[in-house]
Amino acid sequence: MANDLVLTEAPSLDSAEQRARELGDLVERARAGDAAAFEEIIRRHERRVLSMAVQMGLGREDAQDAGQEIFLRVFRYLAGFQAGKNFEVWLWKIAVNVVYDFLRRRRDRGEISWETLQEGTVETLSAESTIHLQVENADLCARLLRQMGSLSKQERMVFVLREMQDLDTGQVARAMGISTITVRRHAASARQKLRRLLQGILDRNS
């Protein structure tokens, strides 16, 4: 599996710093009531937030509803955002909580169980849904996404945030409200499970 997964190169320090400065300016303007600045924040983050929701198992309609709820909460609580904090981690923390809420509601209504969560969602994933994880073999990519249903909820969230959304271990820990040690444990477990499952599929088809 390791030979089939190709992670995109990390952005240069200069470009990352420039984007951070631009985002910081947008956040301050949005906090001051600049509607155009808030719309730009949404434009910069909406695709990744929606793709995370789908990668976690929500269908396209539920993912859209979750996305609206996420940015509604961002708008509602933006005045309380502390200057100097990492805005994107703060946004991801809101996104994680909202997606968990949507998964819980669907489960409580009897619409899904975690074990069958992946059914029907792989087909809704567009080529854009996996932004930072590139898989050279498209068939293997589809198999990977199907097998993600075998992961626990936290394992799947860690895998999605780290491998598909390109957050580092510390960012994932803060977004999920868990320790970095727990993030690493879930990441290792997810990789091991997926590697074993995919290898079994490849062996059967060889």
**pLDDT tens digits, residue range 112-126?**
544 444 444 444 444
Q: How many domains does the chain have?
A: 1
pLDDT, residue 132, reads 39
What confidence tier does 143 reach under pLDDT thresholds 50, 70, 90?
low
Q: What is the pTM of this model?
A: 0.77
DSSP 10: P
Which residue range forms the structural domain that includes residue 47?
Answer: 5-205
- Residue, of 109 and 43, whose pLDDT is higher: 43
For residue 47, the domain's CATH number is 1.10.1740.10
Secondary structure element (H or E) that encloses residue 135, with its range: strand 133-135
133 forms beta bridges with: 7
Torsion of CA 172, 195, 129, 151, to 10 degrees: -60
